[in-house]
Structure 1
Amino acid sequence: MCGICGAYNFLTGKPVESELITEMTRTLIHRGPDGEGSYIKDSVGLGHCRLSVIDLSEAGKQPMSNEDGTIWITYNGEIYNYSELRRTLLQKGHVFRSYSDTETIIHLYEEFGVDCLGYLEGMFAFGLWDAKRRRLFLARDRIGIKPLCYYQDRSGIYFASELKAFLRIPSFSKTIDYHALYYYMLSLTVPTSSCIFKDVKKLEPGCFLVVEGGSVKKHKYWEISDIDNSLQSEEQIIGGLKDHLCRVVRSHLISDVPTGALLSGGLDSSSIVALAARNKSDRLETFSVTFKDVPAVDESGYAGMIAQRYNTIHNEYHVRYDFVDSLNRIIWHCDEPFAISSAFALFYIFRSATKKVKVILSGDGADELFAGYIRHNKRLLNPLSFVGRGSFKRFLQVYMSLCRGATKHLFLNNEAIKWIRRLINIFSPDDACYFDKVCYTSPYYLPAIFNAEFYNENLLTAHEEALSYFSEHYAAWQNSDDLNRRLFTDVKTTLVDEMLAKLDKISMAFGVEARVPFLDHRLVEFALGIPGRLKYGEMGEKQILRKAMEDYLPREILYRKKHGFNVPLGDWFAKDMVSFVNEYLSDSRIKGEGIFNPLFIESIVNRQLSGAGDYSTIIFEVLVWEMWYEKFMDSSI
């Protein structure tokens, strides 16, 4: 895993300055602490910081070229079938100078051009320069495990693993996209469809960009195939699922450096550990966090049970209250406002794990494939979604208008908001109802949270745009299975925007490569073809995965209630965060910025600290925004 960046002045032909590529690369050095390199030739420049995982020799350095130096690549990721591809390419006469997966992509491109992407199995983001064609080729993996963003100015185009690299570009303007802020306040993260900075775009999963002949063109090279497994028996599906899981875990263990696995004690991570331990020649290192001071969120007993069963070298790290320092670092590494509190748990794990391993397997993705969230329960889905979209849109506009004139007391009543959500969802279109269940913060809070003048000037159409992003994916699933429609939407939205963004940014903050076996694209297609009735049934969520793992996991793990990778935010606020919260959410600060409603913010903070209600999620997301603003907007970076 690595950090990549580059520039191509295709509009002006001006030479790329070596100092710029060096500065952009060094901004990403945490992603690749094992070395850095660059390739600069006239109007193109590529930068790379290396995390050595496959072929640790000097031959694996990047940027890397073909034999005659006409093709150069800067690449971040892991290609799990590179050995098979290498053998095929050798038979076709290609000459290799290393044993890295990077060089495999170069020769695959020589053989197939941009169609090389169809042969790659793994996670990746790369920039490839084809000097003969004067073509810059940018690509991202099918699911969106690895990030890639880009920015255009009057000279050309720039790309990077993280948007903070663009802050080194003289022409870059830090103009905020307030609709992205609105979406963040709903979901605690910024979606793939936008960026907190207006001029930056994220390359979507399964897409590539070609910059050639004075133009920039985006193409989609992959979409999830609608595989119908409904004609198979449940036993056949379980057998197929086992085969897929064993295959992908074996492939994800390929490495020339020490490899471990996250272990929370839940079904997903325990499944990965069980299969990895059985396929690894030496003992597997496992890692988990404990919250001994808050038993309600502590899962260390279950993690220990699996570690003992599979004789892993188990490492436990107790989470302490160094909240302020950790949050500052998390905000810096996440690039955009990101208020998913489980990032803390990952932060502590990877900070400690980096001393022992360079590669870690994670159980991310199983919830989205096998229905692991309470919102997937069909009893909670909308049975009365008979209102037309036009009527719902007009109703929502009227409601939001009334909200802006309502007293703050309504919005300070969590029970009132809960009943408002339930009532509105009864009459909402199905996609709008599901979107509301996905949101961490109710959209019916937001008119009260924001400053009224700011809301009227910047956010009147923000909710419609946010719902449109979600609904576009919801409508794309043509299968009649409603549960799989929701899971497909999760894979396209929350999985990429939240889970994978968090995993990449936090793991790479410490130079550790995180791998996600559940998100092998063939397993994803197989899983989304399993009938929904086999996923959420009498056994609760992820029923089919539980049955597939019966030979590997004890009943205490298989049938325990889903816990979630949570941290005790409310306890932290009550114990150590009073002065810190009051500093960042002070009346003068909120008024001066002019984005949020200072009376509302003051009220929820006071109620949280007095124990009158739990507003920790809203307080935390506003706190993260204020800290992000100070770090990225007010400073000179």
Structure 2
Amino acid sequence: MCGISGIFFVDEPRPGMASRIHRMTDTLRHRGPDDEGYCLVNSKTGACRFAAGAESVEEIRNALPTIDGLDQEPYDLALGHRRFAILDLTAGGHQPYFDERSNIGGVFNGLIYNYKEVKTELEAEGVSFYTDCDTEVLFKAYAFWGERCFAKFNGTWAVAIYDFNKRELLLSRDRLGKKPIYVHRTRNALYFASEIKAILRVLNTEVRVNERAVFDYLIGGYRDLSNTTFYEDIESLPPASVLRINARGETASSKYWDLHSNRDSALASAAPGEVAKELRRILEDAVRIRLRADVNLGIELSGGLDSSSIAGLASTVQPRQLSCFTVEYPQTKWNEEPYAREVAMRFKMDYHVVRSPERWFWNDVNEFVALHEEPFHSPNLHTQQAVWRLMHDTGIRVILYGAGGDEVFAGYRKEYFYRHLRDLLKRGQIASFAKNFMNFSELSAHELLAKAWQQFMPKPNNTLPAHSLFTNGLAHFPMLAANGGTAEAQLYMNMTELKMPYWLLSNDKNSLAIPVEVRAPLLDYRLVEFAFQLPVGLLIRDGWLKWILRKAMDDLLPPAITWRRKKMGYPFPLQDWLWNSMRTIETLLAESENPYLNRRYVCENLQPWMAQQPDLVWRILSLELWHRCFIRKQKVASLRPRAASRPATLRAA
């Protein structure tokens, strides 16, 4: 887990590259507190200089010149790296990496979970290794197999590889996009980094807002569609992709993996018990390889099906006692601590209970908005980070958690269950419809029928008064139409476009600000591929969401976990949170200078929206906070949260 950055000029080497890459990499310091390193290349002369920084490990500082002394020398390629050490804690894991035999080098962020298996395969081919780090495995795998190596990796990665012989730079991301690479291209250069702020640090031009991203976010709540960002000319490298650029400025892009949804595969006719058995086998191996670390590892345990599955499987494959952490929400309907305790006791885990974090969002607002770089979907990200920070404070550096279960196995009632009922009726599968309908206990039959019937009704193209909400410059954009389609289509869109790409990027920033490394076995690419070959009828069956996962865990977990209907997870009552900050929010928006909001209209309608569309209120607030921080370069003044005791209208001055 690290931060990477780079600059590649395709015309001429130039002085000043050392200070530029130093500034970029220093911006990523929070992602890698354990080490620092640089590489500068003049591709015209073949000169290559490795350099240390003030926070490089002692062995590196003693062996290399410092980056500060190289600014007068001309270079056209610069690479920077900040290390958060997880495997091989020695200087053997220092980056940038260089392999003399193949004449390739680069920087890498992430972790190859199956690095031991890949290393064994390469050793059988005669490849030698000198460290116990996955970094060496990645670069030597690329030297041996070329781009075919990416298909062999099981892990998370954002990597930049430079071929000194070809004078060519390659960028690549993991299959689902768990590790980010942001890219900015100019006529004669390419900049890349793990976070947008590192690129912004060295740009000489004024930041330009991507107005389409603003509209998509405010109206639909969408982020990172088509790998865009809120900044014009800064994009996210697509997951499962490779970008090449050579010294002549020629670029080529390709994909090495696609998620294929084939619900009519051979698995559709397989016995459910056999499907569950294979799912269990894949998930167990996904957990096994994610337990590899040379630092303390813990499990975030909510008491729900997903995290309990991870905890149970980890305990069966790991001989030593594992630590798990759960958050207690005393005297609330959301408290799942008793369920988490039951799981922990069953598997004899070292059980830790922490109280729900009390640190208020407004105490950290400027730092948190700056961390996420773009408007984000909910302040519960702050709550999640607070939990991880508590785990970090006990010495934990790697966290296994249950992220991805709802997206892979259809765990959202609103997103999938109602659509599935509609799909069954459309196909005339009345018996299956009746079984799902009658066995679903979270809602009354009347409520459930009303929800399912809504799926047949046409959706309006726009549910918000866009021409009033926005200033005139934005209202011409068409509304995204993503509400229709089958449950199968919604699963695929959420995994590849609408939700998962953004959530993964948010979790990356949230975790590495601490830093901790988070690992999600339920998002192992093998498990995702397997799940997307299953008919939806195995995901949603007899009124149960995630039925096949429950079936696979049936003999491992207590029935109170496996077959519990009510879904909780880590709660976040957004509407209550907004009301408790209502006066603060009104003040911020009444003072807004955001050109993308109709200030008067927003302030007049804020409290009605609070009652009906709290998600919209948050998105408006998040956009305002981001615009102040990154566009106007202002900080939010120290504000105490002030609640609104009764509905009132605050008009803009």
Return the TM-score normalized by structure 1: 0.84
Distance (Å, rounded) in 1 between the aligned partners of 2:273 and 2:11: 58
Correspondent of 2:540 among 536, 540, 545: 536
Q: Which residue of 2 aligns with 1:299?
A: 336
Find the partner of 1:623 among 616, 621, 624.
621
Establish whether residue 598 from structure 1 lines up as the match of residue 599 from structure 2: yes
The one-letter code matched in structure 2 to 1:99 is D
Any residues of structure 2 matched to 1:325-364 within 5 Å, and which?
325-355=363-393, 356-364=395-403
Unaligned runs of 5+ residues in structure 1 are 387-420, 437-441, 475-481
Matching of residue 157 in structure 1 with residue 190 in structure 2: yes
Compared with structure 1, are the counterparts of its residues 45 and 517 closer, same or farther at alpha carbon in structure 2 (3 Å cutoff)? same
Q: CA deviation at 1:108?
A: 1.1
1:145–1:496 CA contact under 8 A, matched in 2: no
Residue 244 of structure 2: aligned partner: 210
Q: 1:633 aligns with which of 617, 631, 636?
A: 631
CA shift, 1:427, in A, is 5.5
Deviates more, 1:174-183 or 1:63-72: 63-72
What residue is the counterpart of 2:571 in the other structure? 566
C-alpha deviations, 1:407-433, integer Å up to 9, x for none? xxxxxxxxxxxxxx99996464xxxx6
1:224 to 259, 266, 283: 259
1:269 to 304, 307, 311: 307
| Separation of aligned partners in 1, 2:535 and 2:452 | 28
Change (3 A) 1:75 1:270: same
- Deviation per CA, 1:174-230, whole angstroms, max 9, x where unpaired? 111111011212226343531100101111111110112421221111112445411
Question: Where in structure 2 are the equivalents of 1:60-459 lying within 5 Å?
Answer: 60-68=93-101, 70-185=103-218, 186-187=220-221, 189-212=223-246, 213-225=248-260, 226=262, 228-292=266-330, 295-315=332-352, 316-320=354-358, 322-355=360-393, 356-374=395-413, 375-379=415-419, 426=456, 428=458, 443-447=462-466, 450-451=469-470, 453-454=471-472, 457-459=473-475
Q: CA deviation at 1:2?
A: 0.7
Q: Indicate how the Cα distance of structure 1 residues 53 and 449 shifts in structure 2: closer, same or farther if over 3 A, else same.
A: farther
Aligned residue type for 1:3: G
Aligned position for 1:3: 3
Q: Which amino acid aligns with 2:409?
A: F
Q: Partners of 1:300 and 1:188 in 2: how far apart?
A: 33
Quick one: distance in 2 between partners of 1:127 and 1:636?
A: 34
Q: TM-score normalised to the size of structure 2?
A: 0.82
Structure 2: distance between partners of 1:605 and 1:501: 29
- Cα deviation, residue 161, structure 1: 0.9
- Give the match's secondary structure for 1:115: helix
Q: Which amino acid aligns with 1:376?
A: Y
Q: How far off is 1:381 after superposition?
A: 6.3
Structure 2 CA distance for aligned equivalents of residues 146 and 25 of structure 1: 17
CA distance 1:380–1:517, change in 2 (3 Å): closer
Q: Which residue type is aligned with residue 615 of structure 2?
A: T
- What amino acid is aligned across from residue 75 of structure 1 in structure 2? F
Amino acid across the alignment from 1:536: I
% identical aligned pairs: 30
Change over 3 Å in CA distance of 1:303–1:361 after alignment to 2: same
CA shift in 2, pair 1:239/1:382, >3 Å? closer
Pair 522,317 (structure 1): closer, same or farther in 2 beyond 3 Å: same
Distance in 2 of aligned mates of 1:552 and 1:623: 44
Report deviation, 1:15.
Answer: 5.2
Amino acid at match of 2:235: K
**Residue 553 (1) aligns with residue 557 (2):** yes
Task: For 1:504 and 1:607, locate their aligned partners in 2 and report how far apart those are by CA, in whole Å.
Answer: 35
Answer yes or no: is 1:519 the counterpart of 2:519: no
Q: CA RMSD in A?
A: 2.7
**SS of residue in 2 equivalent to 1:354:** helix
The worse-fitting range, judged by mean Cα deviation, of 89-98 and 232-241 is 89-98
Kept after mapping to 1: 8 A contact 2:378/2:618? no
- 1:514-564, Cα deviation, whole Å (9 max, x unpaired): 111111111111111111111111142101111111112112212222224
Cα separation, partners in 2 of 1:532 and 1:422, compared to 1, 3 Å:
closer
Structure 1 SS opposite 2:319: coil
1:210–1:218 CA contact under 8 A, matched in 2: yes
Distance 1:424 1:281, change over 3 A: closer
**Contact 2:298–2:400 at 8 Å: present in 1 too?**
yes
State the Cα distance separating 1:597 from its structure 2 match.
2.9
Distance in 1 of aligned mates of 2:205 and 2:270: 54
CA contact (8 A) 1:153 1:171 kept: no
| CA positional deviation for 1:84 | 1.7
Could you tell me which residue of structure 1 aligns to residue 432 of structure 2?
A: none
One-letter amino acid of the structure 2 residue matched with residue 601 of structure 1: V
How many residue pairs align between the two structures? 570
Where 1:296 maps in the other structure, the secondary structure is coil
Partner residue of 1:390?
none
Displacement of 1:235:
1.2
Partner of 2:511: 507
Q: Which amino acid aligns with 2:567?
A: K
1:176 is paired with a residue of what secondary structure?
Answer: coil
- Conserved in 2, the CA contact under 8 Å of 1:367 and 1:373? yes
Structure 1: how far apart are the matches of 2:466 and 2:139? 51
Find the residue that maps to 2:109 and give its secondary structure. Answer: strand
Letter in 1 for 2:143: E
Distance 1:546 1:328 in 2: 42
Amino acid at match of 1:346: Q
**Partner Cα distance (2:613, 2:550) in 1:** 34
* Stretch of structure 1 that moved more, 548-557 or 314-323: 314-323
Kept in 1, the 8 Å contact 2:150–2:256? The answer is yes
Partner SS, residue 351 of structure 2? strand
Specify whether residues 205 and 4 from structure 1 end up closer, same or farther in structure 2 by C-alpha distance, changes over 3 A only. same
- Aligned partner letter, 1:74: V
Q: Which amino acid aligns with 1:298?
A: N
Contact 1:266 1:562 (C-alpha < 8 Å) held by counterparts: yes
CA contact (8 A) 1:166 1:172 kept: no
